[in-house]
Structure 1
Amino acid sequence: MNQYEQLPDIFNVAAYFIKGNLHKGYGERIALYHQDDTYTYRKVSNEVCAAAGLLAELGLERENRFAILLPDSPDFVFAFWGAIWLGAVPVPINTACSLDDIKYILQDCRAKILLTTQEWQEKLSPIQSPFLRNILLTDGDNSFRTLASSFPQERPPAQTSPDEPAFWLYTSGSTGRPKGAIHLHRSMVFCAEQYGKATLGLHQDDITYSIAKMPFAYGLGNTLYMPMAVGAASILSDANNAFDIIADIHRYRPTILFAIPATYASILAVQDIAPLDASTLRLCVSAAEQLPKSIWQRWRTTYDIEICEGIGTTEFLHIFLSNRLGECRPGSSGKPVVGYDVRIIDENSVPMPTGEIGNLQVGGDSLMLCYWNRHQETRQVIHGNTMRTGDKYLCDADGYFWFMGRKDDLFKVNGQWVSPFEIEDVLLQHESVLDVAVVPESESGENLTQVVAYISLKAGFSESAELEESIRRFAKMQLPRFKAPKKIQFLERLPRTSTGKIHRKALLKASQLVQ
């Protein structure tokens, strides 16, 4: 029986992770790296209790929502755990969201207090929320940390239940308004035990570095609670380009890199001018969207490290399908993480035969309680203790799961199903292509579908008719003729959601406007 199955009736997840490390004798171990500063587990504990004291003084009560709009930083960590310590409910908001979505989230979650920066406060002014009572700032004369410093560094945690809400995370909103997924105190423990420890083998000497930020479910696990589950350290950084990421890796020497496919592609693209020293990395992980086989193979060839690809969702908090070191199948999402029931079913919930495409259904104890104020949408995806993710998958004879696209990503050309990822993987092998997204487009005046590729180019290459023809010929040599792009559109940068995924809906709209 693991620790998750032994949770007591009174359980506060902030106290579990923070005090747990002190009880293990890890008080002087480094928990966080941020710029030139380091924070030990004892320092984190003291700051969390002080933050809880300040929030309580300002009237934040049990079950009240508390919005955090910050880059990854110590203030984020202390405030997040401090709110949970009180029994309140932190709601991280991704700074990559649009202003409109941020304002929507603040109203939708009914946050009583907002923690942010002066810059963001000015951008959001005025904030039209009747529920908001206080705005705390991390900079300026009366900063959050300054105000919290006058409160005791010891405070008993709220006597919460493992089955009550601990925090909310909002979905990226690529198919509509962001939805608030409500997660319980027990959820983080399950993910840390089943994925962090059992699948990745995290240990106390690890240093994690995540490109995904903490308001993103993937980043919250990578940076916040999974390292804490084993007494490891994490790096807090706001790097957002290949050069800054490489500089961070050289500076902090992490052992684990959590990234997205675009990160690995961009690091490889600058290898000649900014070579990465990957000697301290023992593990690389990719999630958020499909990792092309070509990127996996180039990374392995360049750095002699496998990328363990996986898939998770905001609703399940973290990864439930994963490859393992030494057992990776490039292009696949791997096998189920222990503790998750993953199946491929048809529209009538009947299991699909091996090798046939169907709908992904997942069950596991990290599943959200519900979407806030979205009863019908909750009912549409949650069936008993399982969820239908909206992804199309197949499972091969060896038990590996292969992503075929979202239910609306697949399209037919000449009566045959096309997965954009197969075409994208081929195009990424062309010497000029940095990033690519394939979408369908109806031919003008015809009820026919053609393949359109949106491409951003590597440094040193420029858009031209000759280059377009070279890419088209390259695709025709490696793909059936009906899958080769009929049209190529060059973009300086592909649109992405706040969580780093290619925004296919935006490209489809752009394609329709061009016609």
Structure 2
Amino acid sequence: MSEITEQLPEIFNVAAYFLERNLAEEYSKRTAFYYQGKAYTYTELNSYVRRAAQFFSNLNLEQENRVAILLPDMPEFIFAFWGAIWLGVVPVPINTSCTVDDIRYILKDSRAKVLLTTKEWQEKLTPIQSQFLHDVLLVNGERSFISLITEQDKLQSCAETSKDEAAFWLYTSGSTGKPKGVVHAHQSMVVCAEQYGKTILGLHKDDIAYSVAKMPFAYGLGNTLYMPMAVGAAAVLSDANSIFDIISDLQSYRPTVLFGIPSVYAGILNVHEISPLDVSSLRLCVSAAEQLPKSIWQKWSATYNREICEGIGTTEFLHIFLSNRIGECKPGCSGRSVAGYDVQIVDENGSLCPPGKIGNLQVSGESLMLGYWNRLQQTRQAIYGSTMRTGDKYLRDADGYFWFMGRKDELFKVNGQWISPLEIEDVLHQHPQIFEVAVVPESDNGEQLTQVVAYITLKLGQTPESEIEQSIRKFAKQNLPHFKAPKTIHFVEELPRTSTGKIHRQLLKKSLSLSGQASIN
């Protein structure tokens, strides 16, 4: 069977590919997405996108120029993203959860000529120190982006781009160092939609997708933007800011597919008694971004009679390359390789690891990035040929399922034995009073002994008292080898997270190394 990219023409514009396939009579009047109770059809989407492209052309933007998009999930994001690609301009979505310093860095690093954002963000960023930026467009105000593009009475023809050239960038949310610009080609979204969206999830035209992850995040971009469009389905653009908002959205829009993250599944379960979720519309629940604890999977299944189809991917591959399948899920693991991806576990010498042995995850596939912008050495360290070293530690069992052991810099030794923090966290999650937990190592500066430290948030109605701490310690000793049981427990109101919602372990480690004790409340 030939590769997907071999079936695409050399002259290929991915915006035209996804938009024009839905303009046939059968699909043109179907809903493309919902936002704040309003439905936008595929015909309306096509019109807005082409007018956005014409507007960008009138700003004298040329092919390969960059347009930064700093917005929450909203219609203007979609119109600008596809409109830029339609014109051959490169959109650069920026996560609104990033720090101001990181946003300033991304604007400067990407050399964006135009920034589309809100008035509130413009004020936070003023002055914007970038010699390349010459226009700031706002979605709110007297001259809003929507009003500007609806004035366009000429529809721009799509640019004759190559399937191999840069279509868009996404910045990583790395917990150390500055964000890296990941450059993706026009073909990448097609590969992910075909190999994961259609083949693994079985997305179809009657689906309604709801994603907790936002569109500047690679996982959210696929969930909301291009995977539903690949089959003529609909997506929900949400501005939810809490678990209760998410539950309200799910009750209102009645999606068929929920793209969640572990903390959201845990949060919904945590408020089940006061705000139970009606899951009758959901045919599929998906989780990614970080490892889903086995106990959360099991409790979700017992409470809602729904499996969670867990998978894992990276920004560099755009979406998921390891996934469970409904009816074949193994709780606590990342699943098996998605068709089209060669996923292997190798040792430090590059030799294949046998089943049951922890090694380094490396992946090959057609959706692999072109590289990191202006990071040649880091690109070469990560990629060789069509294969990437992900930096994740994994093991594969005898059935071909992959089990995440942690990032290469997260594993640590206690009593001379390697420890995966995820193994300890999975056990502690089973304690009835624990909501979330993160495990990190702490070294005794005097004797250089490494100890296990657990940061814990409690469920609703629980307060961090000595009785609860003793209960947790007893539970850990009963269910873990003695050297894996936490020697120190810190109760915190919430765990620090990266801009994409992952637990920020490096920040926890830094807190310990700087102060010798927890100080993140």
Is the TM-score greater than 0.5?
yes
Q: What per-residue deviation string (whole Å, max 9, x for no partner) do you get for residues 439-465 of structure 1?
A: 000125221111000011111111122
Amino acid at match of 1:75: E
Mapping of residues 348-367 of structure 1, within 5 Å: 348-367=349-368
TM-fit CA distance, 1:240 = 2.8
Note if contact 1:47-1:153 (Cα within 8 Å) is conserved in structure 2. no
In the alignment, the residues of structure 1 paired with residue 319 and residue 4 of structure 2 have an alpha-carbon distance, to the nearest angstrom, of 18
TM-fit CA distance, 1:9 = 1.3
SS in 2 for 1:25: helix
Amino acid at match of 1:92: P
TM-fit CA distance, 1:511 = 1.3
Amino acid at match of 1:133: H
Partner residue in 1 for 2:453: 452
Note if contact 2:5-2:366 (Cα within 8 Å) is conserved in structure 1. no
Partner residue in 1 for 2:163: 162
Mapping of residues 473-492 of structure 1, within 5 Å: 473-492=474-493
In the alignment, the residues of structure 2 paired with residue 335 and residue 432 of structure 1 have an alpha-carbon distance, to the nearest angstrom, of 32
Shift of the 419–221 alpha-carbon distance from structure 1 to 2, 3 Å rule, reads same
In the alignment, the residues of structure 1 paired with residue 509 and residue 457 of structure 2 have an alpha-carbon distance, to the nearest angstrom, of 16
In the alignment, the residues of structure 1 paired with residue 366 and residue 5 of structure 2 have an alpha-carbon distance, to the nearest angstrom, of 10
Quick check: 1:319 aligned with 2:320? yes
- Larger CA deviation: 2-11 vs 333-342: 2-11
Quick check: 1:65 aligned with 2:66? yes
Mapping of residues 278-427 of structure 1, within 5 Å: 278-427=279-428
Give structure 2 stretches of 5+ with no counterpart. 517-521
Note if contact 1:101-1:177 (Cα within 8 Å) is conserved in structure 2. yes
Amino acid at match of 2:301: R
- Larger CA deviation: 151-160 vs 309-318: 151-160
In the alignment, the residues of structure 2 paired with residue 24 and residue 185 of structure 1 have an alpha-carbon distance, to the nearest angstrom, of 26
Amino acid at match of 1:121: Q
Note if contact 1:60-1:88 (Cα within 8 Å) is conserved in structure 2. yes
Task: Work out the percentage of aligned pairs sharing the same amino acid.
Answer: 68
Q: What per-residue deviation string (whole Å, max 9, x for no partner) do you get for residues 192-216 of structure 1?
A: 0000001110000000000000000
Q: What per-residue deviation string (whole Å, max 9, x for no partner) do you get for residues 73-131 of structure 1?
A: 00000000000000000000000000000000000000000000000000000000000
Note if contact 2:54-2:155 (Cα within 8 Å) is conserved in structure 1. no
SS in 1 for 2:229: helix
Quick check: 1:211 aligned with 2:212? yes
Note if contact 1:434-1:457 (Cα within 8 Å) is conserved in structure 2. yes
Partner residue in 1 for 2:429: 428
Note if contact 1:312-1:320 (Cα within 8 Å) is conserved in structure 2. yes
Partner residue in 1 for 2:501: 500
TM-fit CA distance, 1:239 = 1.0
In the alignment, the residues of structure 2 paired with residue 410 and residue 3 of structure 1 have an alpha-carbon distance, to the nearest angstrom, of 37
Amino acid at match of 2:97: A
In the alignment, the residues of structure 2 paired with residue 173 and residue 407 of structure 1 have an alpha-carbon distance, to the nearest angstrom, of 14
SS in 1 for 2:345: strand
Quick check: 1:135 aligned with 2:130? no
Mapping of residues 127-276 of structure 1, within 5 Å: 127-152=128-153, 154-276=155-277
In the alignment, the residues of structure 2 paired with residue 15 and residue 444 of structure 1 have an alpha-carbon distance, to the nearest angstrom, of 59
In the alignment, the residues of structure 2 paired with residue 190 and residue 510 of structure 1 have an alpha-carbon distance, to the nearest angstrom, of 41
Partner residue in 2 for 1:21: 22
In the alignment, the residues of structure 2 paired with residue 240 and residue 273 of structure 1 have an alpha-carbon distance, to the nearest angstrom, of 18
Structure 1 residue runs of 4+, over 3 Å off?
A: 1-5
RMSD: 1.0
Q: What per-residue deviation string (whole Å, max 9, x for no partner) do you get for residues 270-298 of structure 1?
A: 00000000110000111011100000000
Amino acid at match of 1:331: G
Shift of the 3–390 alpha-carbon distance from structure 1 to 2, 3 Å rule, reads closer
Amino acid at match of 2:271: V
In the alignment, the residues of structure 2 paired with residue 173 and residue 132 of structure 1 have an alpha-carbon distance, to the nearest angstrom, of 25
Partner residue in 2 for 1:468: 469
SS in 2 for 1:436: strand
Note if contact 2:88-2:159 (Cα within 8 Å) is conserved in structure 1. yes
Partner residue in 1 for 2:51: 50
- Larger CA deviation: 468-477 vs 70-79: 468-477
In the alignment, the residues of structure 2 paired with residue 42 and residue 10 of structure 1 have an alpha-carbon distance, to the nearest angstrom, of 24
Note if contact 1:4-1:193 (Cα within 8 Å) is conserved in structure 2. no
Q: What per-residue deviation string (whole Å, max 9, x for no partner) do you get for residues 229-282 of structure 1?
A: 000000000213210000000000000000110000000000000000011000
SS in 2 for 1:315: helix
In the alignment, the residues of structure 2 paired with residue 496 and residue 228 of structure 1 have an alpha-carbon distance, to the nearest angstrom, of 30
In the alignment, the residues of structure 2 paired with residue 342 and residue 426 of structure 1 have an alpha-carbon distance, to the nearest angstrom, of 28
Amino acid at match of 2:168: F
SS in 2 for 1:26: helix
Note if contact 1:46-1:153 (Cα within 8 Å) is conserved in structure 2. no
Shift of the 152–6 alpha-carbon distance from structure 1 to 2, 3 Å rule, reads farther
SS in 2 for 1:22: coil
In the alignment, the residues of structure 1 paired with residue 231 and residue 165 of structure 2 have an alpha-carbon distance, to the nearest angstrom, of 24
In the alignment, the residues of structure 1 paired with residue 62 and residue 297 of structure 2 have an alpha-carbon distance, to the nearest angstrom, of 47
Amino acid at match of 1:469: Q
TM-fit CA distance, 1:2 = 7.5
TM-fit CA distance, 1:3 = 5.9
Partner residue in 2 for 1:84: 85
TM-fit CA distance, 1:159 = 0.5
Q: What per-residue deviation string (whole Å, max 9, x for no partner) do you get for residues 39-63 of structure 1?
A: 0000000000111111111111110
Amino acid at match of 2:185: L
Partner residue in 1 for 2:519: none
Amino acid at match of 1:448: L
Partner residue in 2 for 1:75: 76
SS in 2 for 1:308: strand
In the alignment, the residues of structure 2 paired with residue 429 and residue 127 of structure 1 have an alpha-carbon distance, to the nearest angstrom, of 47
